[in-house]
Amino acid sequence: MTDLNLLVTLDVLLAEGSVAAAARRLRLSPSAMSRALARLRETTGDPLLVRAGRGLVPTPRALELRDQVGPLVEAAQALLRPAQALDLSRLVRTFTLRASEGFVETFGPELIARVAAEAPGARLRFLAKTDRDSGPLRDGRVDLETGVVGQAQGPEIRAQALFRDRFIGVVRGGHPLSEGEITPARYAGARHVLVSRRGAEAGPVDEALAPLTREIATVVDGFSAALALARASDLVATVPERHTATLREGLFSFPLPATPPEITISLLWHPRMDADPAHRWLRGCVRDVTRREAPAPYTE
């Protein structure tokens, strides 16, 4: 039968990359740690750590195991740890949330106020979401993330829908599209700024508008840049309605004459945080804040 204590030893060895350092961390003698490494090599059929100069470097098999063994050890430790009731008044913790542009501006103030009122010792740290890589959630650099669930997400990532959003058009006050009926031809005939992280020159709006085509004057990688250009020029920005509510203040917003599919903004987290009481509380805060009734969508 496999000794499951070897999982803890393996986790520490791969984290430290040194038999001596791992021995100190586990309060073992170097010889005992060397024997444990020998047992791990025999069990896995791989050398795991090999000599490189004065240090040790992990083998490809060790790198593969490193991403798996950490969560296993954390889950086991959480399972054996006595359950304690969450006392928000004594909670001291920094939570990291990653989201696309507009989320912090629209939902951040109320979320920060809610957290401060319920858990004064908790703090929120917001990061910009520049891709859909699940690595930050997996390795614990990010606690929560919001966005559209896609194929780039890791299959183990948990997702819970927050709200549905639709694309709308946005122009400066006094723009020709701020008056009169906005037909597909009028909308397509204007000059547009397209938001695309990958530099694409068409999107769901263009599919809905076919066979008409928009004149894309420029492509930017975020909603803030698109709205800044719309505010200072005759360009038309097309952005998600709820996600950009605060960013659009002072601009004229209108429903699109051709309707692309709505998008669902979800809350994402790693399953190892499922049972964490503080994490569950924060997930509830985000759900409550984002699910409140949206403000009036259009500014005349």
Whole-model pTM: value is 0.66
Which own/partner contact pairs does 30-35 have at CB distance under 8 Å and 24+ positions apart?
A: 33/9
CA dist 206 to 146, 298, 300, Å?
A: 25, 22, 25
Beta carbons within 8 Å of 182's beta carbon, 6+ residues apart? 169, 254, 255, 257
Model confidence over 118-176: pLDDT tens digits? Answer: 999 999 999 988 777 788 888 889 999 998 887 666 778 899 999 999 999 999 999 99
* Average pLDDT of the segment spanning 66-75: 77
Tens of pLDDT, residue by residue over 39-58, are 888 888 888 888 877 778 88
pLDDT beyond 90 at 185 = yes
| pLDDT tens track for 72-119 | 777 777 666 665 688 999 999 999 999 988 899 999 999 999 999 999
What residues does CATH 1.10.10.10 cover in the chain?
5-80
How sure is the predictor about 204, in pLDDT bands with cuts at 50, 70 and 90? confident
Q: Does residue 298 carry a pLDDT above 50?
A: no
* CATH 3.40.190.10-classified regions of the chain: 88-165+264-290, 167-261
CATH superfamily of 167-261: Periplasmic binding protein-like II (3.40.190.10)
Q: Is the pLDDT of residue 284 over 90?
A: yes
Write out pLDDT tens, residues 254-267.
999 988 889 999 99
Q: Which of 23-27, 199-203, 241-245 has the highest mean pLDDT?
A: 241-245
pLDDT at 48: 84
CA 23 and chain centroid, separation: 36
H helices present in the chain, as ranges: 5-16, 19-26, 30-44, 60-80, 103-118, 135-138, 184-189, 204-209, 223-232, 277-290
Q: CATH assignment of 88-165+264-290, given 3.40.190.10, 2.102.10.10, 3.40.50.1820, 3.40.605.10?
A: 3.40.190.10
pLDDT, mean of residues 179-193: 95
Q: Which CATH class is domain 5-80?
A: mainly alpha
In the predicted model, what is the mean pLDDT of residues 176-191? 95
pLDDT of 244 > 90? The answer is yes
